[in-house]
Structure 1
Amino acid sequence: MDAGFVKVLGLVFTAVSPDEVRAEWTLRPELMQPYGITHGGVHCAVVETVASTAAAVWLGDRGQVVGVSNTTDFLRASREGTITAVGTPVHRGRLQQLWEVRLTDADDRLLAKGQVRLQNILDADRLGR
């Protein structure tokens, strides 16, 4: 979990279980938008990554998951420091899952909150065909 886009984000997973995933990253200039605050796309990407990781861990070797919806609300701007993301399940069903992810700063202030709906794919060989 430390390769590809996760590595670009600088995301470090600190806890991974079927019921909760925690990750953190430190803000740096390339993650900012022109006004010097964290780019909203970074928040969305972290929400998606944490939710997808959590959903995949829960589903296990029964299949794979793919995101079908990501809604992220931005509540407070951030310019520096470490941000923590915590993902918890809202619903885990046979066909779909819904996860909520909360992003907070070092003072435990809520920066953004998102939810991701994921499809459980039990026949992963059919993906992209």
Structure 2
Amino acid sequence: MSDTADIADMKSLLGTGFDATIGLEYTDVTPDRVRAQWTVKPTLHQPAGIQHGGVYCSVVESLASIGGTVWLGERGHVVGVNNNTDFLRATREGTLTAEANPIHRGRTSQLWEVRITDEQGRLVSKGQVRLANITDTSAIGN
């Protein structure tokens, strides 16, 4: 999906499913960078009243997968095989921004880093996702 029309088609599918549930809005989608934001709200808190770590993991997975998919394009699909996310700063409210960038893109796998910052630009979470490039898409889920 390297041309503008294909990226526009991909963007029309974003923000659905679980991404919609957490309010994730994509602001930039290219083969080399994906950006999105969401607002921390009580429905996304863990019992102590701060952003649930699972939301960070999900955002990291979503952005890396979208970036990897756009880069791989018509050659196939990507699936996450490892997600390692660190939680660095507690957040109770505000808008958070995530940016994904590739670290490595190869024939069989990709590695993407995702950094999540608050409205003051402070790093609140950082993760990386290893993606498998699947060219035989009929094998996915079997």
Aligned residue for 1:125, secondary structure, equals: helix
Structure 1 residue ranges without an equivalent (≥5): none
TM-score for both structures, normalised by structure 1 = 0.99
State the superposition RMSD in angstroms.
Answer: 0.5
Q: 1:27-47 CA deviation, whole Å, 9 max, x = no partner?
A: 111100011100000000000
Percent sequence identity over matched residues?
60
Distance 1:61 1:32 in 2: 38
Structure 1 position 114, deviation (Å): 0.0
1:14 maps to 2:41: no
Structure 2 residue ranges without an equivalent (≥5): 1-13
1:87 maps to 2:103: no
Give 1 or 2: higher helix fraction.
2
Matching residue's letter, 2:141: G
> How many residues align structurally?
129
User: Which residue of the partner structure matches residue 119 of structure 2?
Assistant: 106
Aligned residue for 1:128, secondary structure, equals: coil
Distance 1:21 1:81 in 2: 20
Aligned residue for 2:51, secondary structure, equals: coil
Q: Which runs of 4+ in 1 moved over 3 A?
A: none
TM-score for both structures, normalised by structure 2 = 0.90
